[in-house]
Amino acid sequence: MTEVLRIDLPNESVAHFKEIASVLLALSRVFSHGGESLDKTLPMMVKTCHQLGEYYPELLSMSAELENHSLLNEIEQQQLCFEFNRLFIGPTPPIAPPYESVYLSQDQLVMQEQTVKVRSLYQDENLMVISQGKNPDDFMATELEFAAYLLRNADKEAMQNKGLNRLKYYELYTEFSQEHLRKWLPKFVERVHQKANHPVFPMLMDVLLCTIELPLQQRRNV
């Protein structure tokens, strides 16, 4: 049985859930819309990072660098797209397949026990993957969208001042992050760092790892 502990968070940190969720959602869109839409999704990434950077200066420097690399001409954008597909999509064997079970399952395949576990978490929230059975539930874009959803709800709860409820989505995020995101994303990020041929992708990875930690960092601060 999962237990949720009541911890009081400082008021100012609660407000950040919304901004953190926005970054995670922007990251989700980077992966769901693919390399062909980086001209749209990267600026959104930068924007959300800037917003969150007001509270976390380390993100400001990351987003500034990211911004430098997101203002690209057409040819550079195309090169970025090719690199995105080489890293994450294919048709060549992708360097860093964006699926949790590839990193955590014994068999290093898609559609493994991790996929079932996140599906179960989605179902607990009355949610399911739009193309369930066709696309692995533990696809990075889906997990990040779910994480964003949890944090957005945590923020809403906090705004509604529902007392105990305020922590429930935060705790759910914590659990999801500890059981899933934090377990596999570092391995995923490592592959990107090692093999990426364009600096924007390691930067994105840095933002990703940093952002998923922020809500947990708040707890540690407490």
Binding site for another protein (CB under 8 A): 1-6, 25, 28-29, 32, 34-36, 78, 81-82, 85-86, 89-94, 97, 99, 102, 107-112, 115-116, 119, 122-130, 132-135, 139, 141-142, 145-146, 148-149, 152-153, 156-157, 164-165, 168-169, 171-172
For residues 58 and 107, which CB has a smaller minimum distance to another protein in the complex? 107
DSSP 105: S
Q: Smallest distance, Å, CB 152 to another protein?
A: 6
Do the Cβ atoms of 86 and 95 come closer than 8 Å? yes
Phi first, then psi, for residue 2 (nearest 5°) are -80, 135
Dist CA 54 CA 193 (whole Å): 27
Contact 166, 14 (CB under 8 A): yes
- Shortest gap between Cβ of 124 and another protein (angstroms)? 6
CB of 64 to another protein, least distance (A): 26
**Rg of the chain over all Cα atoms, to the nearest angstrom:** 17
CB of 138 to another protein, least distance (A): 11
Token look-up 């559609």 returns 111
| Residue closer to another protein (CB basis): 60 or 79 | 79
Six-digit token pair at 89?
């999509």
Considering beta carbons, is residue 56 or 139 the nearer one to another protein?
Answer: 139
Strand partners, 135: 132
